[in-house]
Amino acid sequence: MLAPILSWMSVPAWGQALDDWSDALNIRATSYLDPGPAHVVQISVGEPLVRDIKERIATGAKLLEPVAMPEKVSAKMPLRTGEPLFQIGTKKAFKACTVRLNELRWPTCLIDDDGDGRFDRAGRNSLAPAHPLAAPAAYATSSDIRVPAVASGFSRAILYQGFAGDALRLSYREFSDDIARPAFSEDLSVPLGKTFPQKFAVKGLVFTIHSIDGMGLEYSLESTAW
């Protein structure tokens, strides 16, 4: 009987425990390049020149005023004005939970009982009893709430490794669920001219270098997609 018991103990208490945002409504995946096109940024050696960002977008709300947790709610994380909340299913008018996790490692959830655009109650998570707020808190609904991607799948990045003489040193990396794939790392060297700004291309992306010295590389990404 020992093996079945150990197997049962290894399963998370909730089937969704590995994804604290799994019950978000209308969730969809998206990806983009960081930095965005034409943004002039400065990085130092070891920082990413460009990376593939995977995110999920859900419907939800943003608080229009701060919220203090009721005394009966065991997680006391204060919520600030502008706090993003993702919408979840409810029999009440509207229910949404914080994107960031409270001190108990759960999203704190708020409920609007009557649909008047103000939250009336709060709970330490989506399953715990919700208790009345000291005063209702106003919110604005949103269709653009970003929630973390727990398993990001395939992604890639190019790291800045400095320069030597007339060459820019870079490192290309591929990742699977945020873990580097050793067989898919490649050191690259790009010819570096003596005047700026200057353009260069690597792995299908075009960049403009504005300046480079011992303090770092100032550049912009010209491409819009990888």
Helices marked H in 44-170: none
Task: Reply yes or no on whether the pLDDT at 1 is more than 70.
Answer: no
119 or 29: which carries more pLDDT confidence?
Answer: 119
Quick one: pLDDT at residue 18?
66
195 falls within a domain: no
pLDDT tens for each residue of 68-124: 999 999 999 999 999 999 999 999 999 999 999 999 999 999 999 999 999 999 999
Average pLDDT over residues 198-213: 97
126 has a pLDDT exceeding 80: yes
In this structure, is residue 90 part of a structural domain? yes
Can you point out the beta strands (E) in 64-153? 84-87, 94-101, 107-112, 118-123, 131-147
Q: Is the pTM of this model over 0.85?
A: no
The C-alpha atoms of residue 132 and residue 118 are separated, in whole angstroms, by 12
Q: Is residue 109 part of a domain?
A: yes
What is the SS3 assignment for 4? helix
pLDDT digits (tens, 9 = 90+) for 163-196: 998 999 999 999 876 666 666 889 999 999 999 9
User: Is 142 within a domain?
Assistant: yes
Q: Is residue 21 part of a domain?
A: no
Q: Is residue 176 part of a domain?
A: no
Rounded Cα distance between 159 and 171, Å, is 5
The domain tally of the chain equals: 1
Buried b (16+ CB within 10 A) or exposed e, 93-115: ebbbbbbebbeeebbbbbbbbee
pLDDT for 180 equals 63
- Of all residues in the chain, what percent carry a pLDDT higher than 70? 88
Compute the half-sphere exposure of residue 79: CA atoms within 13 Å on the CB side of its CA: 34
Of 92, 21, 94, give the one whose Cα is nearest residue 58: 21
- Residue 221: name the closest of 57, 43, 46, 55 by CA: 43
Domain that holds residue 81: 57-147
Classify residue 220: in a domain, yes or no: no
Q: How confident is the model at residue 36 (pLDDT cuts 50, 70, 90)?
A: very high
Q: Which residue has the tokens 């969730």?
A: 27
pLDDT score at 47:
97
